[in-house]
Amino acid sequence: MIKRILPFLFLVFYSAVGFSQEKALVPGMKISRSVKIKKALYKLDAPTDTSRHIIIIEGNNITVDFNNAELKGSNTKKRPDEFFGVAILIRNSKNVTIKNLKAKGYKVALLARNVEQLTLESCDFSYNYRQHLNSTQEKEDVADWMSYHQNENDEWLRYGAAMYLRGCNFLTIKNCKVTGGQNALMLMECNDGMIMNNDFSFNSGIGIGMYRSNRNNILYNRVIFNVRGYSHGVYSRGQDSAGILVYEQSSNNMFYKNNVTHGGDGFFLWAGQTTMDSGQGGCNNNIIMSNDFSYAPTNGVEATFSSNRILANRIFECDHGIWGGYSYNTDIADNQFRNNRIAIAIEHGQHNGIHHNLFLRDKEAIKLWSRPQQPADWGYAKYHDTRSVGYVMLANSFNDNPLVYTISRTDSLNIFDNTYSRNTGEIFKIDSTVTNLDTLFDQRWSNYIDELKDVVVPEVKDPMDPFKGYGRLAGRKNILITEWGPYDFRSPIMWNTNPTDKGDTIKFDLLGPKGKWVIKNYKGVEKLSAGSGEFPASITAVKKKGERTDIHIELEYKGETITDPFGQIIAAGKPYRFSFKKFFQPIDWEVLFYSMDTAYHNPVKTGTLFSMLEKKAPFKTEKTDRLDYAWWGGIKEKDIAYKQFITVAAATVNIPAGRYELSVTWDDAVRIYLDEKLILNEWNPSRYKFDESPHRKIPLVISGKHSLRVEHLELGGFATLSLKLSLVK
């Protein structure tokens, strides 16, 4: 007996001694047993290849306490879109705990592959990679749209992530923080996890993303302001950002008591390409309960091609409260809807229940419809019922809704036992395509809904209150998208409140923590209404006359301790400079549009715009001071639709000396010439595999008179051509 105990005691003693000795981090370090890291700032650049890393952790039954040590990568870079590399890789392990780690400045802060029982606790992965956004307050740039539809080969990694986990079952993530990045937590093939008490807020992409991940519990998390593609009162796009993203065969997950306000979508669920091709599977049997999905530029909840339960959520001031296209056997109950454009919109849904919901001041409460035909290239429509059919709507309360039901091309509806108060317009807006509508009380349906199973919520010790203290940010008006993502209210900002006004008066709000501000320098404006003051404040200025807009207002802040947009802490009372910039160089373009038929002559293959055997005149000509186009399905001119076309734009411009950046967004192909010299050649659309519009930036040091020429091809489908000249210095 003694012989068996002694080796065990030695192992325990050896592990305790090893854990008590603090280790310093070095590049290439491999950790295979429990250790405590020496607290320090480690400036360690990672390899640029995301298949490599700085630190690797591999083994079983390991606890690594990073002791609030901080890894800082990309130390020669200033812009978050230049950050590179993987800080920590964990792989092929079991029962690994990582705690008290800080990592910033990387493309991916923590990457884990094939780790069972992984725990991440009290880690801060803020201020890692994020894209530079090209959209402005005045106009959206479609290059900012993201696409998460594929991730079989880790395509999501191109957007970076604070945490990217693949094949990690029985994981636990708690008390972690991610802000000032693009994507916080991305899960691929991760099952049976517990994600709780985290704060993933003020990121420009996704808060929590899931792909082929099942039976996870996402509880008591704050996931607010994960958003892009919004300018209040100008455009409301979202650009596929979301608080919570659930994609491709992710089922039986629970989302309970999460604060997910101000997301591009609050909750974005899509069945996945497998379902679209086969009509089978989906993201099914997820429970979405007691969350707040308010203030989404697009949808509070989008749940499509799947069957789920959406219960007791709060959804205020969204474009759609719930968008449920092609949803079936879905239970929508006990939710609160308020001030949405449309509270519930479902096209081609089957056998859905909408009951015990409260609707208040939504412009339309419920809209149900179907189209006469389905897209010919959809496998889903060949193998799955796509009618709009079989709705039960009972015990709902409708209040101050100008329109309650808009229904077309829908069959078999039971609508009864609802209450209507102060509705100013129609209760029913239906037509002859609606069949078998029954408004009589039906005890069978009432009993069925009463018998729906109660939800069992996992018990969590000391749950965080994710809703506490954030009522002050209510409303979409508080979504302020900068060039690096959503403004987080932790530093001062000068915000233009009338960006699209044609007049000369520019209005600003000065927002931020308590403190004083003073204008130090300015150009391009005059007649400022104030030169100093306290936060918050509103001021005006008058734009100086001239064709070119070149405004720069620099201010100084003194006040509370602040955190700037890049994570730097500025001590209380220390001066901090911030600014407002706006630049526009008008260029007198002459734009010619020509028809194209690639079956006859394909400019991509030949390199020439036109065949030597044809002589073409443009079907459309226009003059403009900017190239900023987006076309859906081609150009229609004089009742003729041109799905394929060529754009040729030419201009001569006189530019003051300076360092500039010429940026272009296009789809499908583009070439740009400066003074007859080719400076951008993107003539091969096959280089771009994702459903995104490419974007390139070209540095220029120029002055005086120059000629510009742009050649653009659209091969069919969505098209865009946007060119901007920006002043760098």
Strand partners, 635: 642
Q: What is the pLDDT of residue 424?
A: 76
pLDDT at 425: 82
From CA 721, how far away is CA 161, in angstroms rounded? Answer: 29
What pLDDT digit, counting tens, does each position of 229-282 carry?
999 999 999 999 999 999 999 999 999 999 999 999 999 999 999 999 999 999
Beta bridge partners of 438: 414
Contact 240, 140 (CB under 8 A): no
Q: Which helix (H) or strand (E) holds 277?
A: helix 273-278
* pLDDT for residue 449: 85
Q: Strand 30-31 and strand 55-57: pairing?
A: parallel
Six-digit token pair at 538? Answer: 């509103």
- Domain range summary for the chain, segments of one domain joined by +: 324-458, 490-584, 589-727
pLDDT greater than 60 at residue 8: no
What's the rounded Cα separation, in Å, for the pair 121 and 570?
27
For the residues 33-47, what does the mean pLDDT come to? 97
Overall average pLDDT of the 633-643 stretch: 91
CATH class given for the domain over 490-584: mainly beta
What is the rounded distance in angstroms from the CA atom of residue 615 to the CA atom of residue 606?
16
pLDDT per residue as tens digits for the range 585-633: 999 999 999 999 999 999 999 999 999 888 889 999 999 999 999 998 8
What is the Cα–Cα distance from 681 to 410, expressed in whole angstroms?
50
Q: Is the dihedral of CA 522, 525, 526, 528 positive or negative?
A: negative
Is the pLDDT reported for residue 11 higher than 70? Answer: no
Q: How confident is the model at residue 19 (pLDDT cuts 50, 70, 90)?
A: low
DSSP assignment of 116-149: EEEEEES-B--S---PPP---SS---GGG----S
Q: What was the pLDDT predicted at 630?
A: 92
How many other C-beta atoms are found inside a 10 Å radius of the C-beta of residue 348? 26
The residues with which 590 forms a beta bridge, in sequence order, are: 623, 650
Confidence band of 5 (pLDDT split at 50, 70, 90): very low
Residue keyed to tokens 């979202």: 238
Q: What are phi and psi of 277, to 5 degrees?
A: -85, -35
Token readout for 493 is 């900002």
The confidence score (pLDDT) of residue 12 equals 44
**Does the pLDDT value for residue 82 go beyond 60?**
yes
- The CA distances from residue 615 to 423, 594, 611, in Å, are 62, 11, 8
C-beta of residue 88 within 8 angstroms of C-beta of residue 109? yes
* pLDDT-wise least confident of 18-27, 218-227, 559-568, 672-681: 18-27
CATH number of 589-727: 2.60.120.260
With a cut of 70, say whether residue 16 has pLDDT above it: no
- Window from 7-11, 352-356, 455-459 with minimum mean pLDDT: 7-11
Closest CA to 467 of 311, 292, 217, 244: 292
Tell me, yes or no, if the two domains 490-584 and 589-727 fold the same way.
no
Average pLDDT, the chain: 94
- The amino acid sitting at 388 is S
With b meaning 16 or more CB within 10 Å and e meaning fewer, what string describes 93-119? beebbbbbbbbbbbbbbbbbbbbbbbb
Rounded to whole angstroms, the Cα distance separating 675 from 673 reads 6
Confidence of residue 10 (pLDDT cuts 50, 70, 90): very low
The phi, psi pair for 369, rounded to 5°, reads: -165, 170
> Could you tell me the pLDDT band of residue 448, with boundaries at 50, 70 and 90?
confident
Radius of gyration for the chain, computed over Cα atoms and rounded to the nearest angstrom = 28
Q: Report the alpha-carbon distance of residue 584 to residue 548 in Å, rounded.
A: 6
Q: For residue 20, name the pLDDT band (cuts at 50, 70, 90).
A: low
Closest-CA residue to 98 (of 114, 115, 85): 115
In the predicted structure, residue 453 carries a pLDDT above the cut 90: no
Q: Are 125 and 72 in contact (CB under 8 A)?
A: no
Strand partners of residue 310? 288, 332
- Cβ atoms of 461 and 175 within 8 Å: the answer is no
Q: What is the pLDDT of residue 533?
A: 97
- Percentage of the chain beyond pLDDT 90 is 87
User: Are the CB atoms for 582 and 563 separated by under 8 Å?
Assistant: no
Sole residue written with tokens 């094939």: 114
Q: What is the pLDDT, as a whole number, of residue 445? A: 87
Indicate the Cα dihedral angle 174, 180, 185, 188, nearest 10°.
Answer: -170
